[in-house]
Amino acid sequence: MRVRTADQVPQDFSFHDEQVLVIDEFWTPEEAKQLRGALAAAPKQNRLLEMDNVSRMFPNCGNWLKGEMPEPELAWFAERVMLPCVNQHAQTFEDAIGGMISFQYYTYGVGDGLTLHDDTDSGFDNDPERDKVKRRIAVVTYLHEQWHSNWGGELVLYDDPPPNADENVPLQPREFIAPSPRSIAMFAVPRLHKVCRVDPLAGEHQRLSVAGWFMTKHPK
């Protein structure tokens, strides 16, 4: 489903039914400017090639920049994007014993992208001291002031392949979501998706975003 503002999201919207929600004018210009400033001032930022585990998962994906979102921006951001449909979705998992969030800043320049993945690796599965954590809703929102259709950087979501399908069977794209300024996209996990590379036509323009997940915690 695609709507213009958050106020237009139907009260009965369900990620179990439609799975994808795009809101075009989610942030005000002032909020987007505030987030851009916080991204630029993020105290800890790392390039893809500096992160061994991540770069092994996403080889040949450029060298995009990831920045930690500190308090109080993280709490404010999470509260702002916690729409009723997100909260309702989390409550449908009966064995959940709590919730978690994880959001970071991302800066993509020319040649940067992400290969196909489905977001199921929470990063906590190998830690016996942590409750089992499952990603439930993926979120990506765009902070740059302008973006041209020729500049690439689209988020592409795919339909699930048929059961027992050969790995060479072509996937069917379901959604092409342009990184439109001040828009936000949310989708239920798992969902196969990728980020198209930023085209050289973008020049010095960068794809600025916040991305991450709403998650549920489960017994060990």
Domain ranges of the chain: 2-162+174-218
Q: What local confidence, expressed as pLDDT, does residue 116 receive? A: 94
Q: Which residues, in sequence order, are CB contacts of 87 under 8 Å at separation 6+?
A: none
Q: What local confidence, expressed as pLDDT, does residue 126 receive? A: 57
Nearest-angstrom CA–CA distance, 208 and 98: 30
- With beta carbons less than 8 A apart as the criterion, state whether 143 and 36 touch: yes
Q: What local confidence, expressed as pLDDT, does residue 163 receive? A: 74
Q: Which of 86, 98, 78, 117 is nearest to 16 (CA)?
A: 86
Q: What local confidence, expressed as pLDDT, does residue 199 receive? A: 98
Given a cut of 70, the residues of the chain with pLDDT beneath it are 122-131, 164-166
Residue type, 65: L
Q: What local confidence, expressed as pLDDT, does residue 129 receive? A: 57
Q: What local confidence, expressed as pLDDT, does residue 169 receive? A: 78
Q: What local confidence, expressed as pLDDT, does residue 172 receive? A: 87
Nearest-angstrom CA–CA distance, 119 and 19: 14
Q: What local confidence, expressed as pLDDT, does residue 128 receive? A: 61
Q: Which two tokens stand for residue 15?
A: 């990620």
- Does domain 2-162+174-218 fall under CATH 3.40.50.11540? My reply is no
Nearest-angstrom CA–CA distance, 62 and 110: 8
Q: What local confidence, expressed as pLDDT, does residue 43 receive? A: 87
Nearest-angstrom CA–CA distance, 177 and 2: 10
- With beta carbons less than 8 A apart as the criterion, state whether 114 and 209 touch: no
Strand order in the sheet with 132-142: 2-3, 20-23, 184-188, 132-142, 207-218, 98-108, 65-68, 45-47
pTM over 0.95: no
